[in-house]
Structure 1
């Protein structure tokens, strides 16, 4: 949001492509403003430990301190010349691979998780009432912990209703 607010301040629209090599001046400025707001350089430099076995060992402590993602912290380390571009790219590639593996792991889906979180008897009653028109879909959505109204029929299938 800070990045987008910066676009408003400078009166320039733009869509960030997250490219580390962008040459568009407004993107560079907006990225710098957002980075400084979220992870001030002087504070980052004070907390960065150079004597660790791996630069990545800094990330958990920095993540807890700044409350931003390790991806953001790696980018900040790159920008402040604590790591080289190659190290940053390897880290990001590894993070993306972990994310892809997690997606492909066959873990429980959204509806299966919802089914485990909410009483099945209650869920079936709410879904049944919503599908037969006795309960508004938006009310059912609220009762079911935020399942989107247009997805209640999908949840019903998961419940076997």
Structure 2
């Protein structure tokens, strides 16, 4: 008979309250928790993989203290973030590993600290801050007129943000595990501040327009030099910190300049809802941003604003479902490329070629194998030709 392992009741109780145990192993888990049976080491290994909890946790006497400073910077008060999902925790760990690698690589290469980090701190006025963001990204005030869709806006902004030394990562799952989806209701994006390698992570489960707004919101946070966990829902106003209101306002001003908005609104005919739809297309942003602009300018009431937000949420969900139905799985390599900051990928490849980083480490950081790693590099290089 295989030897069994003694697990502290504190650990079983922590798992019961903090971890989602799959139905397939729930009965066995309850037998272990009650003491009716004890697991073998191999059973614990399998169980740890199923619930995505490190095997070492089972040998602790007290529940693990998983402290992530980033969770203190949540946008709104949320029970989900008092008990973050394993998916969020593992994504945070992965991004911290990438940021640590990039920071070490930049220091080894004698690069200077990123000048944008904290550069907005102490500045006043939404218009001034928005102008500084546009200047940093080399964006004209009417940049939105040169793009035709939310996806194109996101690509343009992502490339501009990456070019000023900010890592922009994106995924809708944990690593490469398609069975571990990220929940957009738990978080839409987050920012990890670092003097050398500031990082923004975008939840790809969000809508195209949602990603655009989150990207700008997080970029403002980097300018303020503060970490951020953006979990605000569409139209959310109950923010924990005034800084979140500021970041939202600056992001909105970059997307939809107030002066231009007022002029276009007053010269657009039709009922309110049709105006919101029309301006959403004009500025290539979500209807939620336009509705908020209209509310701030007293063009609509709070009641109508809430109605417009509900409508915007419904349309966004329908659009995403329709897109998934049309995609048929999509282009595999294009999806992989969308997850990884291209500057990071190229720096990682250069380090591997110079013998400073092992291939195994490169594969761990990117969650891809040797064949896909080489193909992704070919595609990135092809885009720059």
TM-score (norm 1): 0.57
Question: For 1:125-144, what aligned pairs fall within 5 Å after superposition?
Answer: 138=372
The correspondence for 2:301, drawn from 77, 84, 97, is 84
Report the secondary structure of 2:266's partner residue: coil
Question: For 1:28-67, what aligned pairs fall within 5 Å after superposition?
Answer: 28-49=245-266, 52-67=269-284
Greater strand fraction, Structure 1 or Structure 2: 2
Which structure 2 residue ranges, 5 or more long, are not aligned? 1-214, 332-369, 377-385
* Structure 2 CA distance for aligned equivalents of residues 71 and 89 of structure 1: 10
The correspondence for 1:2, drawn from 200, 213, 216, is 216
Which structure 1 residue ranges, 5 or more long, are not aligned? 115-135, 143-161
Q: Deviations over 1:68-114 (max 9, x none)?
A: 12222112212222212211111121233345566788x84642888
Instruction: Label 1:76 to 1:14 Cα distance change in 2 as closer, same or farther (>3 A).
Output: same
**1:45 Cα offset (Å):** 0.7
Greater helix fraction, Structure 1 or Structure 2: 1
* Structure 1 CA distance for aligned equivalents of residues 219 and 329 of structure 2: 38
* Structure 2 CA distance for aligned equivalents of residues 42 and 87 of structure 1: 22
Instruction: Label 1:94 to 1:60 Cα distance change in 2 as closer, same or farther (>3 A).
Output: closer
Report the secondary structure of 1:15's partner residue: strand
Report the secondary structure of 1:48's partner residue: helix
TM-score (norm 2): 0.27
Q: Which residue of 2 aligns with 1:68?
A: 285
Q: Which residue of 2 aligns with 1:93?
A: 310
Paired residue total: 119
> Over aligned residues, Cα RMSD in angstroms?
3.1
The correspondence for 1:13, drawn from 213, 221, 227, is 227
* Structure 1 CA distance for aligned equivalents of residues 320 and 269 of structure 2: 32
Verify the 8 A CA contact 2:287 2:312 in the aligned structure 1.
no
**1:47 Cα offset (Å):** 0.8
Instruction: Label 1:97 to 1:76 Cα distance change in 2 as closer, same or farther (>3 A).
Output: same
Report the secondary structure of 1:83's partner residue: coil
The higher relative CO (CA closer than 8 Å, separation ≥ 6) is in 2
Verify the 8 A CA contact 1:63 1:73 in the aligned structure 2.
yes
Instruction: Label 1:58 to 1:24 Cα distance change in 2 as closer, same or farther (>3 A).
Output: same
Question: For 1:138-153, what aligned pairs fall within 5 Å after superposition?
Answer: 138=372
Verify the 8 A CA contact 2:268 2:275 in the aligned structure 1.
no
Report the secondary structure of 1:21's partner residue: coil
Verify the 8 A CA contact 1:12 1:26 in the aligned structure 2.
no
